[in-house]
Structure 1
Amino acid sequence: MTPQTDRAGYDHELVRAAAEVARTRCRGDNHTMAAAARARDGRIVTAVNAYHFTGGPCAELVLIGAAASQGVYELDTIVAVGDRDRGVVAPCGRCRQVLLDYFPAVEVIVGAADAVRAVPVTGLLPESYVWADHRHDAE
């Protein structure tokens, strides 16, 4: 299954999926963002954030766990969409770093209205920190 893209090169179906979850599942102050990601095998995984004053996880981070629970460990593209028709929202710094660490080749859909586009996560963190502690080589 090939995602529908245009000249901007982003996955329209993915954005629609996240927008639908934001519209139907984000209710109240606890869930204000939705995320959708396309797995390498074409499946779409969705999630919502869990807002909390202590810094609850963003929708992108919840999505990583939801994807793993469904056996999805490789993501090609991810997008976050705000509730109340706020549209595409770029990931925060923490999410950018986690996405880079888990999926260094993932494309992230960013931009507003007519400037929506897909960019490599490395483009969002050009001088990124590489966290290697979690990847120990067998000795």
Structure 2
Amino acid sequence: MTTQTHPVDHELIQAATDIARTRCRGDNHTMAAAGRAQDGRIITAVNAYHFTGGPCAELVLIGTAAAQGAYELKTIVAVGDNDRGVVPPCGRCRQALLDYFPSLDVIVGAGDRLRAVPIRDLLPESYVWADHQLDTE
């Protein structure tokens, strides 16, 4: 399978990096995420670590976006604290992001290997739980 790539949204990466540097403190908040809404707004969030599991930054971003009236995201990126850079979403987040935003691009990679790829490419042969996910082609 050849992965399709799209232009990298460097402003989005910078927004997530800024949040990771200024808001991720201690063990409870170690990841930041930024998403680009369809209207161009950038929405940010941090994870909420807890021994019971807690939501990742990408999952918190889904709720934060909805609370701000952004129900469709175009692109998302997660960045780790302590200057860890871009971190790809875990399996649970990949599935949730696909379920909420089937046409979402996700920024992955590092340095000159940064790329924006469709969420479907990160989770091939995924479980389909909702009719809106089915291809009509």
Contact 2:6 2:117 in 1 (8 A): no
Deviation at 1:113, TM superposition (A): 1.8
Question: Per chain length, whose mean CA-contact separation is higher, i.e. which structure has more relative contact order (CA < 8 Å, sep 6+)?
Answer: 2
Matches within 5 A, 1:62-81: 62-81=60-79
Q: Secondary structure at the match of 2:63?
A: helix
SS at match of 1:73: coil
Q: TM-score, normalization: structure 2?
A: 0.90
The list of structure 1 runs, each at least 4 consecutive aligned residues, that deviate by more than 6 angstroms after superposition, is: none
Q: What count of residue pairs does the alignment treat as equivalent? A: 129
Q: Report sequence identity in percent.
A: 78
2:94: which partner in 1? 96
Query: Offset of 1:8 from its aligned partner?
Result: 6.8
- 2:104 maps to 106
Change (3 A) 1:64 1:8: closer
SS of the aligned residue for 1:66 comes to helix
1:48 — aligned with what?
46
Deviation (angstroms), 1:134: 9.6
- Give TM-score scaled by structure 1 length: 0.89
Q: CA offset at residue 78 of structure 1? A: 0.2
RMSD (Å) for aligned C-alpha atoms? 1.8
- Paired residues of 1:8 and 1:116 also in contact (CA < 8 A): no
In structure 2, list runs of 5 or more residues that go unmatched. Answer: none
5+ long unaligned stretches in structure 1? 1-6
SS across alignment from 2:107: strand
Report Cα offsets for 1:109-139 as digits up to 9, x if no partner. Answer: 001222110000000011111112899xxxx
